[in-house]
Structure 1
Amino acid sequence: MLKLALLFLVISVIAGLFGFGGISSAAAGMAKILFFIAIVVFLVFLVLALIGGSAIAGR
């Protein structure tokens, strides 16, 4: 997911350099959305790992 966010960021920068403002802002928006989704997924997995790890250690 972060690879896609980075890809959209690069597309946004390149499109901005060539003067395609609409494509650049759309790609930047997609990069932002994908980045925040990746952060949320990371936090969910982190919480699940902490809960699962403490359950195993408590046995």
Structure 2
Amino acid sequence: MAHRFEIRKNKAGEFVAYFCYNNETMFWTEGYASKASAQNAIESMKKNGPGAPVEDKS
């Protein structure tokens, strides 16, 4: 699969959820104190993201 979510630790020791396409990071979340919180962020994006509107503010 070309796209995936990854959970990594940042330099501050926090858990961060990343969305990657092929080998490129497209976006990431804030840092979380627990891995469970990062997993919850991923589940929220999966659930709420497909129906989110696009706002062009250019």
**Same fold per superposition (TM over 0.5):** no
- Larger RCO: 1 or 2 (CA < 8 Å, sep 6+): 1
TM-score by length of 1: 0.33
Normalized per residue, the structure richer in strand is 2
Normalized per residue, the structure richer in helix is 1
Larger Rg: 1
TM-score by length of 2: 0.34
